[in-house]
Amino acid sequence: MKKRDNFRISALSAAIASALVSGPAYTQDKLLEEVIVTATRRAESIQDIPINITALSSDIIQRQRLSDLSDISRWVPGMTVVDQGPRSGNILTVRGLNVDSLSAPEALTNSGGDTMGIYVGEIPMYIDLKLNDMDRVETLIGPQGTLYGAGTLAGAVRYIPNKPDPEQTLVEVRGDSYDLSHSSELGYEGGTTVNIPIIENRLALRASLDYFSDPGFIDYDYLVREPGVSNPQPDFDNPQDVRDNLRRKADANTEETWSSRVALRYVGDAFDGTLSYYSQDMDIGGRQINSRDAFGTGKYVSALRYEEPNKRKNDLTALELVFDLGFAELTSATGYTEYNENGQRDQTDLLLTFEYGYEEFPSFSAFTREDVDDERFNQEIRLVSTGDGPLNWITGVFYNDFKRRSISQEFTPGFDQFAVDNFGGAQLRPDALEYYQTDDIKLTEKAVYGEVGYQLTDAWQVTLGARYFRFEEDDTTGFDLPLFYTVFDGRVPPDLIDPVYQSADTNDDDAIFKFNTSYHFSEDVLGYLTVSEGYRLGGINAVPPCVDLNSGEQNVCALPNEINIKPDKTVNYEVGVHSEIGDNILLNGSVYYIDWKDIQMANVTENGAVPIVTNASKARSTGIELSGQWYITEDLSVMGTYAYIDAQLTEDAPGVLDGEDAYNGDRLPGTPEHQGSLAVNYGTGLADGSQLDFDWSIVGNSNVLTKVGERNYGEKLSGYTLSNVSATWSRDAWRVSLYADNVFDKYYETGVRQTPAISTR
């Protein structure tokens, strides 16, 4: 019987955090303030920007203890991050634009789904950045390809770090310790930030260093003791048989992350330049997944046969130069990024589904080791008008050069001996290497973009935008089946790896457009209408093309229709309003409709079930997004968000669900229909001059599908609500908090396996 394998997570934490800062005491304003952002490439009040934007300030990041993209998404209406832990990576979705299954990925990844553009400062770089020493995080909902260098399908997230300040000396120390209710050890983190003026009012250095250690809470109770010898399914009614064949690792899904930033900034009379280096180094112990349905485990137990460690390192060197030309501001943003990932994952169930004889081997188990090295060079040059007249404009050029080198090696310990003994194999393969693949990818993207706006009256403006882009991709794939050629063919040496290399290339170009108009109905009420197009680059699937298919043998290749990936595009229609009511209420909202075509869907090859991306079908998404703040009194404030999302296919998609069909009207996965958050803050001054703040928040969403239409072993993950509370005392340079996240220890599901498990208890 084949069953699904759910991933469920629950964490109850309580901690004391303290910080020593050489600066003013922590205070909190109790009236609505003007929030200035640079999302539109000009410094403007968020209430005057006629697009859907959310800005999370450093104060909110600190008070709500936001640490990553998953936390951010809970306060951005319309944005969803399905948190599957750092080992599996997170699927980032906006307005329902996702068709990928919520599963443990079958390969290493650093994309997050590619529907959102991620920026660190001015540089595009997908990373789930730790939110240390951050000024704010800006999230723009809707395509932004006419405003930003990198094109986007659904929106953009901008991490805005604190800049070096040539007028302030600062030393900050922060620390945190917490306990997880389903872990045997404490977690902790600590860090420091220094800001040092070098030349008064001109030159400054700012540096941060942070360390995070999470103890994990998923137990791997069914690890094979000796691969290829131990029985993965012993007699579970015989404790000695279990001990002889299996071992246990508690709290396997640990995480250790070092993150750092060093920035040097020079400020002149008409010039502002910053040279920065960022680094985030992660060491992850295992996957956050359980096997309740597949293997009858507990809520926090995985039945995978191998440990699944993973190491990731992101590095970014960035040079951002801004020149005041009088009539315009010229910005040059240069970035060089490196990404390295090394991982191991259990591959047992997938290979058993192929029925190539593996299922005949009683001690069969398999694992894959993968290495990925990415390099990316970005250059963007942008001009933004600064005049006071009715005409305003933005124009820019963008260049992206991306290279990837990856190696995947799949091992089946002991199967060579079994094949020699039972299938007439000719010789052994000591390294047990069953599958080997290398990929070299080179992608070049060039784009020119811009917007022109005109103020028709004091209250009414119109903006037109356009973008032209072209990309080229070359891919060379090397492929080998060492164990097959060694054991069954018998004509090659038992240690030979001799891949066959094949190359392919593709290119495409296109243009997208934007129309926006807004009207100030009063000083405090702005309405807007936007029609915009978004896109996502295409490419090539890194799988060797099929040449000679041999019936009954292990064919791993791509058919002609499985090689190229076309760009997919969206057309977005949105009507929204930004409003202030009196001096204590802010209310923003929007309604939208999206057409999505040539959707890039995760799929597998017909031969060998290798993960690929294919274009299929059309979809649409409609919804409502609301956000607001209310300062009830000087001491009591409330903020909240709500989103309703209805996303579904509008055309049949044959064979996209591992060979199964999806149909017109099927709901898209990864996004709840209802999503919301609410936070209450009460602060009061004490007699000794200190401040005491109490914060309570609740976040949650309705159910989420794991596959399109809940088909082909897809399921419906139940909705959830999480409550967080904290009390914070602050005085002068000190700040101390006691908090509890998920205070009621709620248990909820966030993902499943990609393939049903073969084995059951």
Mean pLDDT, range 295-314, rounded to an integer: 90
Query: What distance in Å separates the CA atoms of residue 358 and residue 360, rounded to the nearest whole number?
Result: 5
In this structure, the number of other CB atoms found within 10 A of the CB of residue 271 comes to 12
Query: What distance in Å separates the CA atoms of residue 192 and residue 704, rounded to the nearest whole number?
Result: 39
Which residues make Cβ contacts (< 8 Å) with residue 457, sequence separation at least 6? Answer: none
In this structure, the number of other CB atoms found within 10 A of the CB of residue 239 comes to 10
Position 552 scores a pLDDT of 54
- Short-list 485, 509, 511, CA closest to 499: 485
- Short-list 37, 46, 36, CA closest to 578: 46
Would you kindly state where each structural domain of the chain is located, as residue ranges?
Answer: 6-373+386-752
Strand partners, 37: 44
Of the listed ranges 63-67, 258-262, 586-590, 718-722, the least confidently predicted one is 63-67
In this structure, the number of other CB atoms found within 10 A of the CB of residue 41 comes to 18
Position 59 scores a pLDDT of 86
Position 14 scores a pLDDT of 36
Percent of the chain with pLDDT over 90: 57
Contact 104, 84 (CB under 8 A): yes
CA R_g for the chain: 27
Is the confidence at residue 719, as pLDDT, over 50? Answer: yes
Give the model's confidence band at 411: pLDDT under 50 very low, under 70 low, under 90 confident, else very high: very high
Is the confidence at residue 3, as pLDDT, over 70? Answer: no
Q: Which tokens sit at 359?
A: 């299922």
- Cα→Cα distances 21→121, 170, 492, 498, 708, Å: 24, 7, 66, 59, 50
Query: What average pLDDT is seen over the chain?
Result: 86
Query: What distance in Å separates the CA atoms of residue 708 and residue 366, rounded to the nearest whole number?
Result: 29
CA 621: distance to chain centroid? 21
Mean pLDDT, range 306-312, rounded to an integer: 94
Query: Per residue in 732-757, is it b (16+ CB within 10 Å) or e — as a string?
Result: eeebebebbbbbeeeebbbbbbbbbb
Query: What distance in Å separates the CA atoms of residue 619 and residue 569, rounded to the nearest whole number?
Result: 11
46 three-state secondary structure: helix
Mean pLDDT, range 400-412, rounded to an integer: 95
Q: What are phi and psi of 245, to 5 degrees?
A: -110, -25
Mean pLDDT, range 722-749, rounded to an integer: 91
Beta-carbon-side half-sphere exposure of residue 751 (alpha carbons within 13 Å): 24
Position 575 scores a pLDDT of 97
Q: Which tokens sit at 514?
A: 């934007």
Mean pLDDT, range 574-580, rounded to an integer: 95
741 three-state secondary structure: strand
Q: What is the CATH number of domain 6-373+386-752?
A: 2.40.170.20
Contact 359, 349 (CB under 8 A): no
Position 752 scores a pLDDT of 60
Position 155 scores a pLDDT of 86
CA 423: distance to chain centroid? 45
Position 167 scores a pLDDT of 94
Name the residue with tokens 């340079």. Answer: 733
Q: What are phi and psi of 610, to 5 degrees?
A: -80, 135
Position 110 scores a pLDDT of 58
Position 89 scores a pLDDT of 67
Position 566 scores a pLDDT of 85
Query: What distance in Å separates the CA atoms of residue 753 and residue 303, rounded to the nearest whole number?
Result: 12
What is the chain's length?
761
Query: What distance in Å separates the CA atoms of residue 180 and residue 13, rounded to the nearest whole number?
Result: 5
Contact 400, 376 (CB under 8 A): yes
Give the model's confidence band at 754: pLDDT under 50 very low, under 70 low, under 90 confident, else very high: low
Specify the higher pLDDT residue, 561 or 551: 561
Specify the higher pLDDT residue, 573 or 117: 573
Find the DSSP H helices in 246-300.
Answer: 292-295
Is the confidence at residue 449, as pLDDT, over 90? Answer: yes
Position 33 scores a pLDDT of 65
Q: Which tokens sit at 605?
A: 């090859």
- Cα→Cα distances 547→407, 505, 557, Å: 22, 17, 8
Position 716 scores a pLDDT of 84
Q: What is the 3-state secondary structure (H, E, C) of 539-608?
A: EECCCCECCCCCCCCCCCEECHHHCEECCEEEEEEEEEEEEEECCCEEEEEEEEEEEEECCEEEEECCEC
- Short-list 400, 346, 409, CA closest to 372: 409
236-288 per-position pLDDT tens digit: 899 999 999 999 999 999 999 999 999 999 999 999 999 999 999 999 999 88
530-548 per-position pLDDT tens digit: 999 998 888 888 777 787 7
Position 759 scores a pLDDT of 39
146-159 per-position pLDDT tens digit: 888 777 788 888 99
- Short-list 541, 739, 748, 578, CA closest to 48: 578
Q: Which tokens sit at 65?
A: 């203890």
Position 751 scores a pLDDT of 61
Give the model's confidence band at 757: pLDDT under 50 very low, under 70 low, under 90 confident, else very high: very low
Position 684 scores a pLDDT of 92
Position 29 scores a pLDDT of 45
Contact 529, 516 (CB under 8 A): yes
Name the residue with tokens 């909820």. Answer: 748
636-691 per-position pLDDT tens digit: 999 999 999 999 999 998 877 777 888 999 999 889 999 999 999 999 999 999 99
Position 711 scores a pLDDT of 86
- Cα→Cα distances 431→143, 391, 493, Å: 49, 68, 12
Percent of the chain with pLDDT over 70: 91
Mean pLDDT, range 602-613, rounded to an integer: 76
Specify the higher pLDDT residue, 8 or 39: 39
Give the model's confidence band at 707: pLDDT under 50 very low, under 70 low, under 90 confident, else very high: confident
Beta-carbon-side half-sphere exposure of residue 268 (alpha carbons within 13 Å): 10
Position 553 scores a pLDDT of 59
Query: What distance in Å separates the CA atoms of residue 657 and residue 613, rounded to the nearest whole number?
Result: 11
| Pairing status of strand 116-120 against strand 155-161 | parallel
Specify the higher pLDDT residue, 203 or 71: 203
329-386 per-position pLDDT tens digit: 999 999 999 999 999 999 888 788 777 788 899 999 999 999 999 999 999 999 999 9
Query: What distance in Å separates the CA atoms of residue 609 and residue 477, rounded to the nearest whole number?
Result: 17
